[in-house]
Structure 1
C-alpha cells in the first residue's frame, strides 16, 4: 500500500480507449468521518477549487503571485500541509480523489491555519489538460503514487512518458518535477522516463537526496524500519 491509498494510477478501463488513454486514479471512497465532512462543509468555499473546463487564474485564487506548485495525490494531506508550512512563500494546488483525504487535508488546514494550499477533488489528468495554463507552475510533486507492482498492471502507472509530456508545458523554464517512490522498480522507470526528455535535467547523479522541504511520513518511516528503500528524483526544466 502506498501513502496515497492506491488512488493514483495510469488507468484507462473506466472510459472508452479512444476517448482517454490516461487516467490518474482509481476511485475508492473509504469512510468519511464527521470531522472530515465538517471540514469540507465549512472550509471548501475558502480552500476548495471546483473543476472547470477552462484555465484557472491561480494568482487570483491564492490572492498573490508567489510560486505555484502542483501536488498530485496527497493521500491524507499530512505531508502536504507540512510542506506548505515549511515553504510559506509557495502556493500549493493539491489534487486527490479520495473523499476522506480531501476532508482530512481541509481539517488540517483549519487546525494548522495554513493559507497557502488550495484543494481539488478531481482527475488530475483533466485538471492538467484543461485548468492549468502553460507556464503556470514552478514545481510539480508526485509522492508515492500507486506502483502497480504486478507486471501486467505496470501500464496503469501514472509516471509514464505520455503524462509527463502533458505536464511539461505547464512548468516554467527553471521549474522542477519532484517524484518519490518506495518501489525500486518504479524508481528505475521514473528515472528512465524523466531522462528521456531533452527539456529536463537531473539535479543529481541518479537519485536525489530527499529535499529538506519533504517530511518523512509515518508510512515512509515504517517502510524504512522494515528495510524498504525510498527514492527521490528531482529534475529541472531547462528549456
Structure 2
C-alpha cells in the first residue's frame, strides 16, 4: 500500500537549493525575526531523530539512525531480518503467555516505536497493537515487538518520500478490522490521507465502541478519517 511513498535511500544526496523564490524566503526569515529569535542554519539535515535527505525527485524523511540505535539498545542488531512487521494469522490477547520478564523495557521500546511511526506508516498497525498491552505485557507480546524490530532491520534504509507537485487534492483511504480484538471485540480502524501525491497523515487505532456489524465498523473508520 505504501510502496510508492516509502523508499530506500541508496544514493548520494542532491541539494535542491533553498527554494524557488529566494527573496520570499529572505523576507519570511526577516519577518519571523521581528517576533522571535531566529537563526538561519541553512538546509535541514537532522532534527529530533529525523534525517532530511534531499534527492532528485523530492525529500526523504528517514529515521535510520534512530532504528540503528534502537536495535543496538535491544541487542537485536544481530537478529535475522524479516519482511513483515506482524504475522497475518497472529491475534494478540491479554491472556496469552507468561508475564513479560521486564515490563519497563517493553513499555520503553513500544514508546520508541510510536515515535518511529512518524516516518514509518507501515508499522502503525503493529505498533498500535503492541500499545494495547502496555499495562500488562507478556512474553508473547514481547515476541511481537521483537518481530517489528526485525522488520525495521529489513527496511532500515527506507524513509518517507515527499515529492513536489501542484495538486492540492486531498485523497483519503480508510479501512476497519471488524471485532479484531479477542478481549473486548472492538474493531481497529485506520486511514491514510494524501495531499496530491504525498502521504501526509495516517492512523491505526482501536475504535472506542463495539461495532455490531462490519458495516458499522467501516462507517466509524470513515467518520474518524473524515474528522
Is TM (by shorter chain) over 0.5? no
Class of the TM-score when normalised by the shorter of the 2 chains: under 0.3
- Determine which structure has more spread, i.e. the larger CA radius of gyration: 2
